[in-house]
Amino acid sequence: MAEKTITIQATRFDPDKDARPHLQSYEIPFIDESMVVLDALNYIKTHVDGSLSYRWSCRMGICGSCGMMINGQSKLSCSAFLRDYWPKPILVEPLNNFPIIRDLVIDMEDFMHKLKSIKPWIIRKTEIPLGSGEHRQTNAQIDDFRQFSECINCMLCYSACPVYGLNNEFRGPAAIALARRYNHDSRDEGTKERLPVIADAEGVWECSFVGECSVVCPKGVDPAKAIQQSKLDTSLRFVVPFGNRE
């Protein structure tokens, strides 16, 4: 019986040699039904072409580093099973909307800058002294931000966002969802510091609510929901004080 195979068409780009990215095809063994696209890339790198470059770490859908465009869809390559594509070829490209460093590796600098801009850490007016005990939270308090804390910074939402694709100044889905995560943390007192950042011209109001960011999110964070809720928050923080003026 002939060995079962599958074709991987991967983007190749060496900035020192190539004027633009191009595709290269690899036909590899389809060994078993549990194989994912990341397994295929690892096979290529180990047995066929060691120069192929891409990011990965955990292979468990936790680290978020193996995000790629797979047949035109933003996915984690460790969660995309070959069996769902076989016998057709699989097109593997770097995430949309980001500069390419090499092959399937993108430049994350803009994304990391946007995350840092919303101050994704607990901000306190008065720090709790060390040794004073735990800062306890109820299950209800945790549930208030739990969904938005599940983000793994895979950037799939940015690659699927048409607004970010047209205007990379947009703060973006993951950053705004993370801002909401901390704003709703009962231990945090930094909402007033984050609000101007997410409410500025490139913040929540730039979003046209296409919703693709939530469709591609592998962890169910629903950044589109976070953005729309943040729009309401920013509106209320303006309207309520204005209405209470004497």
At residue 131 the predicted structure's pLDDT band, cuts being 50, 70 and 90, is confident
Relative to beta strand 105-106, strand 5-12 is: unpaired
What average pLDDT does this structure show over 24-31?
Answer: 96
pTM for this predicted structure: 0.91
Amino acid at residue number 158: Y
pLDDT of residue 243: 46
pLDDT of residue 30: 95
Half-sphere exposure of 227 (CA within 13 A, CB side): 26
The answer, yes or no, to whether residue 240 has pLDDT greater than 70, is no
Place of tokens 């997410």: 198
What average pLDDT does this structure show over 71-88?
Answer: 97
DSSP annotation of 154: -
Q: Which residues contact 192 (CB under 8 A, 6 or more apart)?
A: none
Q: What is the dihedral of CA 189, 191, 196, 202, to 10 degrees?
A: 130
pLDDT of residue 242: 42
- What domains are there in the chain, each with its CATH number? 5-106 (3.10.20.30), 109-243 (1.10.1060.10)
Cβ atoms within 10 Å, residue 130 = 6
Place of tokens 């549990």: 34
Instruction: Encode pLDDT of 196-208 as tens digits.
Output: 999 998 999 999 9
What average pLDDT does this structure show over 107-125?
Answer: 96
